[in-house]
Chains A and B, each alone.
Chain A
Amino acid sequence: MADIIKCPTCGSKNAADLEFCQFCQTRLQPLTGPLKGLDRAIMPGQNPTVKDTGQLEPILPEWLREARSSAKKNSEDDVLQAAQKSIGSPTVSSGGDLLAGLRSHAQDNEEEDTPDWLTSITGETPKSKKAQTESPEVRWVELGAKNDFAQEDRSAEKPSWMTGPASSTSQPNNKDELTDWFQDAAKGSNAQETNQPFNADTPNWLHSMAVENDALSDIKPLQDNSSVAASDTPDWLRSMTVEDAKQNDDPFINNMALPTYGDFDAGKAPSAEQVPDWLKGHESETPVAASSVDLDWMNDLQTGEGEQPMQGETAPWLKADVPADEAQTPAWLTDMPTSTLPESEENKTLADPEQTDDTFGDVPNWLKAAAPQSSIFEELPAEQKVEALKMPSSDSPDWLNTFNSNEASESQKSPAFINDAQTSVNSDALFTDMPDWLSTMDNSSSSTTPKAVNNAENLAPSDLPTWVQAMRPMDSGISQPSQSSYSTDRTLESRGALAGLQGVLPARPGFAPTGKPKAYSIKLQASEEQQAQADLLERILAAETAPVPMTSFSLLSSSRGLRWLIAIVLFSNLSIVLLLRTQIFPMPNSFPIPPAVEGSLRVAQSIPNGAPVLVAFEFESARVGEMEAAAAPLFDQMLLLRRPRLVFISTRETGAILTERFISEALAGYNYQSGVDYLNLGFLPGGPMGIYAFAQAPQAIAEFAFARNSDANNLFDISLPPAWILEPWKSTTSLSQFAAFIIVTDNADSARVWIEQTTSTRGTTPVVVISSAQAAPMIQPYYASQQIRGLVSGLSGAALLEQNNAGRPGTARAYWDAYNMGIVFAVLLILVGGLWNLVLGLRDRAALRDAN
């Protein structure tokens, strides 16, 4: 096992020749060789060699010598007073313990309280530890009498995390979770002292901290007895303790004012020399707060001090006599003494404790401890603080003294503190190498509260970040606020990106008081022409919206009596004429036949015998009397002369049944049989589309016939036998193959549609229109344009046909007197009514004339 070493970091075993740990890459071999000769480190169990340190007196800086002299004077007085007041209790020295172990003060009676590291400097053999004889109730850091602290003990009020470690010093041992090497150390301490076990509920890390306290409290006895083997001690811990006693005269390290291990040794009461001045002052004010638990972190720093230094394993950079290589020492540590604030700045800082706290508000605690301003954290009076800052403390941690080994060698040539000018220069140099955040901290330490910065005076736009510049109010076309408005607006931004800036944003963003706004005239500048047009527009709009009175004219209101009178007269006349079957009015024999009616006769007379004739029944049921009377003479003559094969079709739903009525009543004498003599194709759907399609392909569109049952009395027997199965209809495949096309309609539009949609397909087929009297004027142009060959209009046209047909069938003659009577009545009525109105008008005019 001699060729295997254990890694101090991870504990894994490595070969002795390895420089770095193969598991955690921790350096195993020191960078420099072991100390030799007089510089050789003290081995565990070896008594330090007594050296005459009085020869170091001349090399001490002047301030240190002055401090030592004053401390000597004060300590002599205090010792005399303490000797008179208390005997056997730890005395508290009000004087400083600065380098108290020097030979020049070797005759002091406080030698037994001198820490080991200081003892090693003085060369005296350390005496038996007081801790072995004192009660375990003694607090670690106590000032004053024991009973005083007992009365003010507030450990019961402390939280468990604070009381745990404090009580661990008096509780039984319970270190099952400690590391091996530390357990060994604890065992050694248990063998020497009475320790109380740990509370089982205490966290592990607190366990370890408490154990360390116990171990540290036993380090001194262990050193005296030389009973603890240091082989299991980690190397880094050993290196931390090596040569610390030799490095405590560094002025910078002394200025760090960190307590040494001896101050917190639980085995003995701290002596007056071991307690630094700043700590004394602090504990005098707040003795309770200075418990051992609160200073556990300091004990961690002292872990290695109590143990026997391992000369052979001491890190070279920790050796005081060996100049540390600057490359190995961190630069910021090398320059740390220069970071001491100038005296003027210190006074300012001390004058305002809150500012001091805020200055290090962002600094971690460990850095606060390491910083030279660490002394200002204590609640010391201003004068004492200033003095403490000026005077380096002899209680500075030894391990920190090693950091400044270079200056320790140079301290013989130059004072510990340099003047302000040099400090400022070195401070600048320090901050150039320091991290940015630390530099910022240093800059911010000058003031705790954000200093108001005037935007216009102190802060140049180029110094602002771009995004801040983008947020700044921009110039606009609007009148800029006066400079006075900016100067008066001293609003200090307390948050956000502009925190600390003053007057950056105006009170009203973007706008400043511009005074009274300009008065603009609202009068419209318009010329006379424009005004005239505007007036015209207004009049037009007014005329559009203004209500227009309805021109009331007297309606010819038909009184019920008059209406009844006319009805009675008309009905009586017609009834009488019809009942009497009078023939008062002669048939129109004497008048020449109109060309339209004559054309119809020609068509009827010109069709071949038995030729197919297409007949479109396009009238309503209400017009059946007129239409049958108008159509009967023509069909009578045609059937009588040619007996054509009739094909009836209609675009009206009632056309089929009206056709059957016409055949069965008006043409009853001809005994036309459905499907043989005539085809009732019935209803043709689609209106104009149906007519157009039928004109293109009659058999395809109208396949079935509306055949009435042979039983003429059965009006509800409707069947749809296939049409076009017999000649001549079978060969009639187009509209042009019909001998004639007769349209029986009471509506001019029906006639027009049939004429229009069949124009291209009917060819030379003559078209005859038998229309109602009301539709004749609208159909007459088609005859004038020769689109139809004949036009029979109403009862008058029927009468003309009957006169040329030997009075057959006589329907027109039957209606003719009544019809003429009604016409005469209407004419008389209109004339009488007109004359009556004329008379009334003349009377009114005469009355008006008389009135005028």
Chain B
Amino acid sequence: MVISPDLIAGVFSFLFTLLIFSYLIGDNPLFRIAVYVFVGVSSGYIAAVVWWQVILPRLIYPLLSGSTSMPQKGLMLFPLIGSLLIFMKLSPRLAGIGRIAMAFLVGIVAALTIAGALGGTLLPQTVGTIDAFDFNASSARGIGFFEALSSAAIILSGTVFTLTYFHFGAHPKEDGSMHRLGLIEVMAWIGRIFIGITLGAVFAGVYAAALTALIERFMSLINFITDFFGTFQ
């Protein structure tokens, strides 16, 4: 009898799914076993992937390969040195040395993130919000005027009111209390509605995603059982 890998994978999938579902009765060893196994397997897999897909093909092979030019090998010394410096963080006494490479990484990532956010999110989103009132473009996309107008109005109001909600500037009153301006208060209150709706949508999405995952697991269990016993076919 040859046990197919799919069957083994199905059995493990079935068992670990049940172990995770055991959390409904509270924290228990079965749930912890499943979690520990998942963490261990994931770590090992990630380490293997990093070794085989990153270190060997991108660092060691080029350094040992004769086809790589010396300038390229020289450039690859920088990631090698940087990785060694980061390894120093394993020792509390030498952790300070690893800060050099970490500082380099943080600086590069921060610069890229800021530049990407400006060019890929802030400016396009601002322009998109403004262009929502471009009815020609809306009509070109097949959107009616009123729909486009209402959509643009909702987008604009939602954006403005939501941003107003995060405006915390206030002025002191005679009694010493600090309050925002009345208009700001109203706009912030409307912004809270939009934020509430957004959070409701996010919650619905989270629930829908979790429900879909749960359905997939149930379907997987049903399929495994069906395939294993062939009863429900």
Contact = CB atoms under 8 A, between A and B. Distances in A.
A76 to B, nearest CB: 114
B208 A795 contact: yes
Interface stretch (A52-60, A132-140, A465-473, A775-783): A775-783
A626 B209 contact: yes
A37 B211 CA distance: 159
B216 A777 contact: no
A720 B53 CA distance: 7
B116 A753 contact: yes
B5 A715 contact: yes
Nearest to B155: A784
Q: How large is the interface on B (under 10, 10 to 19, 20 to 34, 35 or more residues)?
A: 35 or more
Contacts of A818: 215, 218-219
B81 interface: no
B215 to A, nearest CB: 4
The binding surface of chain A is classed by DSSP as: helix
B5 A629 contact: no
Interface in B194-225: 198, 201-202, 204-209, 211-220, 222
B35 to A, nearest CB: 12
A326 B10 CA distance: 141
Interface in A619-650: 622-626, 628-629
Contacts of B48: 718
A460 to B, nearest CB: 72
B53 A629 contact: no
B26 interface: yes
Contacts of A794: 205, 208-209, 212
A450 interface: no
B212 A653 contact: no
A752 B120 contact: yes
A818 to B, nearest CB: 4
Contacts of A401: none
Interface in A773-802: 773-778, 781-782, 784-787, 793-796
Interface stretch (B95-103, B107-115, B178-186): B107-115
B40 interface: no
A656 B46 CA distance: 11
A588 interface: no
B108 to A, nearest CB: 6
B116 A757 contact: yes
Contact of B218 (A574, A774, A777): A574
Interface stretch (A19-27, A387-395, A681-689): A681-689
B116 A759 contact: yes
Contact of A773 (B25, B125, B142, B209): B209
Nearest to B24: A567
Interface in B62-120: 108-109, 112-113, 116-117, 119-120
Interface string A761-777: 00000000000111111
Interface in A812-838: 814-815, 818-819, 822-823, 826
Contacts of B139: none
Given A773-B205, A774-B208, A776-B205, A574 B214 contact: yes
B215 A689 contact: no
Contacts of B56: 720
Interface string A656-695: 1100000000000000000000000011010111001000
B232 A760 contact: no
A325 B202 CA distance: 133
Nearest to A759: B120
A313 to B, nearest CB: 97
Contacts of B228: none
Given A626-B212, A653-B45, A785 B112 contact: no
A42 B216 CA distance: 155
B209 A718 contact: no
A605 interface: no
A378 interface: no
Contacts of A795: 208, 212
Nearest to B46: A653
Contacts of B128: 781, 784-787
Given A624-B216, A625-B216, A782-B125, 6 more contacts: A683-B54, A703-B57, A755-B120, A756-B119, A772-B205, A777-B201
10 contacts: A578-B219, A579-B232, A623-B209, A689-B109, A715-B5, A756-B116, A773-B209, A777-B205, A778-B202, A823-B211
Q: Shortest 10 CB-CB distances between A and B: which pairs? A: A625-B216, A785-B128, A756-B120, A756-B116, A773-B208, A773-B205, A626-B212, A774-B205, A822-B211, A653-B46
